Amino acid sequence: MTQTVLACTRVEDMPIPNVLSEIELCVECRKRVWVAASSPRKAVRLCLQCAAPLIASTPDVRPMMTTEQAADIAAYYRARKKA
């Protein structure tokens, strides 16, 4: 089964979204995340922190994200490697 995952920035990490967004909850950690108003309604909402390991470990999860979010995930991995 292919699941579309929307990787969203947590509200606590970005107080003001850069696109028209609404606040929803990450299905994993229940933190508040920004979801762009134009996002597909069926996609699973995850924060970047929860989405990164899932995307890495589950090949049939197709992340939908902006290039900015992809850069955030890349930075997240770099930070984890250093830790």
Minimal distance, residue 79 CB to Zn ion, in Å: 16
CB of 4 to Zn ion, least distance (A): 16
Site string (17-56) toward Zn ion, x via CB under 5 A: ---------x-xx-----------------x--x------
Residue with tokens 């292919």: 2
How far is it, in rounded angstroms, from Cα 83 to Cα 68?
23
Q: Are 32 and 49 in contact (CB under 8 A)?
A: no
Residues that bind Zn ion (CB under 5 A): 26, 28-29, 47, 50
